[in-house]
Structure 1
Amino acid sequence: MVRSVDLNSDMGEAFGRWTLGDDAALLRVVSSANVACGFHAGDPSVMMRTLRTAAEHGVTVGAHVSYRDLAGFGRRFVDENDGDLTNDVMYQIAALEGLARAAGATVAYVKPHGALYNRIVADERQAADVVRAIRTVDPSLAILTLPGSAVGRLAEQAGLRVFREAFADRAYQPDGTLVPRRQPGAVIADPAAVAARVTRMVADGTVEAVDGTVVPVHADSVCVHGDSPAAVAMAHAVRDRLTREGIAVAPFARAAAEA
């Protein structure tokens, strides 16, 4: 039985006067923070505030890179050419690493966001663009992705560290991919139900899909979405349930770097 798992959440997704999520509260619960880099959300001030708070709480930081899509919150597919997508991802990683140094934090991994995350599960061309960007800017960074993804396979072939992610509050399809957000039941809102699902994912390596089938999952890290109205309660419920089951919460990227 697995005795430790990372708990991550998307952070820094405010923009100017527009706020989203309770990052300060979540950073007291999670072990890794995926910090928006300004392309789907976030701005330099929000990024710096999030990085400083993460450093204060000893939370590991990842670059939450996206298509350049502020209006759509990064949830719309963008058919960028190879050079543009590679450069966009490089820009976001470099920006977050620079601010992190000033904030006393260190970027340890990359987690693509939204439509980009889902696209590079299967799209080999865009997956290769993301891998190229990471290797060019900082090959010490790990990548966090779905099990069986194209980007994970290409990243391993390129010598990058790859970690697999499960989603606490998202419904699964029988093939192990996520139910699209536009479909009913795609997001699970009940903290107790989410905590039970996560415990099963970590302890048994399985999750029940929307059609009732049992799907195998491999989770180095479990994501609780920070933009959910019940995000803080959900994160507490998950961590408390894991603790009761004897499963520690620890950052995946830091443990791997120190091994």
Structure 2
Amino acid sequence: MEKVVALLLNLGVNLILVSGLVREEVIQRCCTHHILAVEKVKASVLRAFAKATGAVPVTYTTQLSRHCVGVGVQAEIWRDLSSYDGKPLITVNISTVENSELVTVILSSCVHGKLQAMEDRFWACAYRLHHMLEDKALLPGAGVTEMLCVHHLQREAEKHVKHHRERDSAANPYRGEVLNLIADGLLDYISTVMVNTGRFSKVKAMTAARQQLQNNNESLDAKFSQLSLEGEEEDSGVSLLIKSSKAPAVKIYDNLSVKQEAWRKALDLVVLVLQTDAEVITGH
């Protein structure tokens, strides 16, 4: 690093454009010598700067020489935006002095190109539609289907506990407890998905999920009255299909195959943990 900094100072470089990433230590060392290092620069931008300033792009710092350094670029602090969100944020203005081929560049924060974002949203919608047409089935999304499952599990657990107390039967004494544990596991799955969005903490996500379940307990049955769980006999066994003559009025839907795959992966992980735990305890 010392050799690179010494070479940059000898060449009089005060701006470095890099197509890849720059280590934090290098950025800090360059800043102490008033050298601005800009990372994640697109190849088209590099070519435009090279054409406007006469610079020559290099792959390694050992290739730097006098004829590689461009001239006519001015970098200065344009505005301090730290007061807006309490975080240090400096906006830098990079412009060419004599050449008018380049439009002034202002670096403030990482933003996604609008055109690329629109294209990504379009293809995401197209793929969802493609899978929906293949599945020929849709499930209510945004955690609604999982909430319905939790609701049914808790209700079945309550029925079992009540039935067990009335008849005082010893058959399946832990069935209600197992059903409640499955419901709690599914709630934890929902809260984990919420945490992975980056908008909730674990406690807030679990609280929101339980509150949503409590508020919707009375309306869930009516809301999903059109949904029916049917068994279809096949050569390989029984497959469960959820069909609906009239879809519930929710704004978000999930493809059946995508939802089943997410559940399958979660179940595989649980079974793997249980299997490992059993092997550690029993030794077999």
TM range (shorter): under 0.3
Q: TM-score, normalised by structure 2?
A: 0.19
Larger radius of gyration, structure 1 or 2? 2
Q: TM-score, normalised by structure 1?
A: 0.20
| Relative contact order, higher structure (CA 8 A, sep 6+) | 1
Which of the two has greater helix per residue? 2
